[in-house]
Amino acid sequence: MSESSRSGSAGNTPAARTAFACVALVLTMGGLAFASSPLYDLFCKATGFDGTPRRADASSAVASDDSMVVRFDTNVAPSLPWRFQSEVREVTAKLGETKTVFFRVKNVGTTPTTGIATFNVQPALMGGYFFKIQCFCFNEQTLQPGETMEFPVVFYIDPDVRKDSNTAQWSEMTLSYTYFASKNGQPTAALATPSGTGTKSNF
Number of neighbouring beta carbons within 10 Å of residue 20: 11
| Residue 180 confidence (pLDDT) above 60 | yes
Q: Name the more confident of 4 and 100.
A: 100
**Closest among 44, 56, 177, 170 to 117, alpha carbons compared:** 177
The span from the CA of 74 to the CA of 199, in Å, is 9
| Residue 167 confidence (pLDDT) above 60 | yes
What is the reported pTM? Answer: 0.68
Element housing 15 (H / E): helix 14-47
The span from the CA of 37 to the CA of 80, in Å, is 25
pLDDT band for 199, please (50, 70, 90 cuts). Answer: very low
| Residue 136 confidence (pLDDT) above 50 | yes
For 21-79, write each residue's pLDDT tens digit. Answer: 544 444 444 444 333 334 334 434 444 444 445 555 665 667 788 999 999 999 999 99
What is the structure's pLDDT at 186? 84
Can you say how many angstroms the Cα of residue 157 is from the centroid of all Cα atoms in its chain? Answer: 17
For 155-179, the DSSP string reads: EEE-GGGGTSTTTTT--EEEEEEEE
